[in-house]
Structure 1
Amino acid sequence: MASEITYAEVKFKNESNSSGTYSDSATVPKVKPTPHLSKPGRPSLLFTSLMTLFLLLAIAFLAAFIFYFQKYSQLFEEKKAIRDLTHKELNCTKDNPPMDDKVWSCCPKDWKPFSSHCYFTGTGSASWRESKENCSSMGAHLMVIHSQEEQDFITKILDSQAAYYIGLSDPGRRQWRWVDHTPYNESATFWHPGEPSSDNEQCVIINHRDSGWGWNDIVCSGEQKSVCQMKKIYL
C-alpha cells in the first residue's frame, strides 16, 4: 500500500505591525535629529537691535557735543573779549539789587553807563564799515537804539556839531537791520523829517538839526564819528 504524503502550505506573517518589535526600519539605521544651529557670523535680531540703538546714541552724543562745543567757543570768545578789557581801568557801581551772584556792574574807563550797556564815542572819523570794525576790536558794536530814553541819553553826551554812525544799515530794498540782529521796530525810530531820503544812502548817522537830534541816511563811505556799545561787565 502506497503511503500518502500530504503537503501543507505554511505561510509566516510579519508581526511587526502588531507588536512593534520588528519593522521595515529595522534594516535601515535611524538618523538622530541634530539641533538647528545658526550660521556662524550671522548676528541675531537682539544683537542687531542693540547695535542700532548704540549707533543712534552715538550720533545723538556727537550732535550734543558739537552743539555745546559751539556754545562754549562763543562763550570763550566773549570772556576773552572781557579779559582783554579788564586789564584797563574799570569804573564800577554796586548793583541794587545784585544780578544773580554778581554785585558790581562795570564799564571800561571813558565809557558811559546806561541801563545794562556801556557807550563810547570816539574822536576819529571813518567810514561805516571801518567804524563797525573799530567797535568790534574793542569787544563792542555800533550803537543800537530801541527807545526814546536811550536816544535821549546818548544825545546828551554827543557834540551837536558832529555826526555819529550808529549800527543801522540797509543791505538792500530798504530793509533796515541792526548790527546786533535785534528786530528793527518802525514804531521806535527817530528819523529826521523827510528821512530816509535815498535808496543809495544805506548807512545811518545820528546828528543835530534845527528840529533837534535825529537819524539821517547817508552813503556808507562817508567819514563820520561813531558811537560804540557793549554790555556791562558784571563782577
Structure 2
Amino acid sequence: MNHRGRVSPGTAVVFLHGSYGQYKTLLQNATEWRCVPNVSAGKREGWICCPKGWKRFQEKCYYISDDKMSWTESAQNCTGMGSHLVVINTKAEQEFLFNLAKGVVTNAYETKYYIGLTAYENGQWQWVDQTPYKKAATFWKPGEPNLLFAEKCAAIHIKGNRDSNTYSNWNNIICFTNCYRICELAVKYV
C-alpha cells in the first residue's frame, strides 16, 4: 500500500472523512470502497473497508449476485472481482449468509446461491480456498448430498423469504445449473 500520494493507473482511491485530509489507496479491482472506523477494545485503529455494495460480517466482505451463472462461471466471476466463492467456516457465518440471502429473496418457491464447495475434481468435497472439508461443520439439507455421480456443486437453497431452515439448507446440484452466487473476500484494514 502506498501512502505517499503516488497512485498507479486504475487504482481506486477513497477519501476517508476525518482522516485529516489523507487518503488511502486500496489496491483491488473494485472501483469504490466503503470504510468505517475500526474500533477494538475501545480504541480507534484506522479503518475497516469493504467494496461498495458488499456486506461486512466479522472480518469478511460478501457479495450476493443479482444474476445467475453456472458454478464454473460463478467461480470465475468472483475471482475476477478479487474474491472467491464463499467458504463457510462457522455456524455464525452460515446464519449471517442465510439471513442475508433470504433478505434478497422474494416469495419465489426456491432460490439457490452457489458456494465455494465442489466435488468436481476427484469426487471428494473440496472448498475453493483449500480449507479442509469437515463433514461435522457442514449445513446440508437432510438427505443431501445425494446423486454424487451427477450433482457435484453445492448451493445454499432457500425456499422463499419465510424459510426457517437456517442450518440445514445446502443442496448439491448439477454444476451447469444457472444459480445466483455469493462471493467473499477479506476486509481491508487501512
> In structure 1, how many angstroms separate the alpha carbons of the residues matched to 2:66 and 2:164?
25
Structure 2 residue runs of 5 or longer lacking an equivalent are 1-10, 13-25
**Residue 89 (structure 1) shift:** 2.5
Mean Cα deviation higher: 203-212 or 135-144: 203-212
> In structure 1, how many angstroms separate the alpha carbons of the residues matched to 2:175 and 2:74?
10
The alignment yields a C-alpha RMSD, in angstroms, of: 2.3
Residue from 89, 97, 101 that aligns with 2:32: 89
Change (3 A) 1:211 1:195: farther
Change (3 A) 1:215 1:94: same
Which residue of structure 1 lines up, in the alignment, with residue 174 of structure 2? Answer: 219
Larger Rg: 1
Residue from 156, 179, 189 that aligns with 1:206: 156
Q: How many pairs align?
A: 153
Contact 1:204 1:218 in 2 (8 A): yes
- Calculate percent identity across the aligned residue pairs: 39
Which residue of structure 2 lines up, in the alignment, with residue 162 of structure 1? Answer: 111
Q: Structure 2 counterpart of 1:191, which letter?
A: W
**Higher fraction of helix:** 1
Q: Structure 1 counterpart of 2:173, which letter?
A: I
**Higher fraction of strand:** 2
Superposed CA offset, 1:158-213 (max 9, x none) = 14442100000003564110001111111110000000011210000101246614
Superposed CA offset, 1:51-73 (max 9, x none) = xxxxxxxxxxxxxxxxxxxxxxx
Correspondence 1:232 to 2:187: yes
- Counterpart mapping for 1:84-163 below 5 A: 84-85=28-29, 88-97=31-40, 103-158=46-101, 159-160=104-105, 161-163=110-112
TM score, norm. by length of structure 2: 0.73
TM score, norm. by length of structure 1: 0.60
Structure 1 residue runs of 5 or longer lacking an equivalent are 1-78
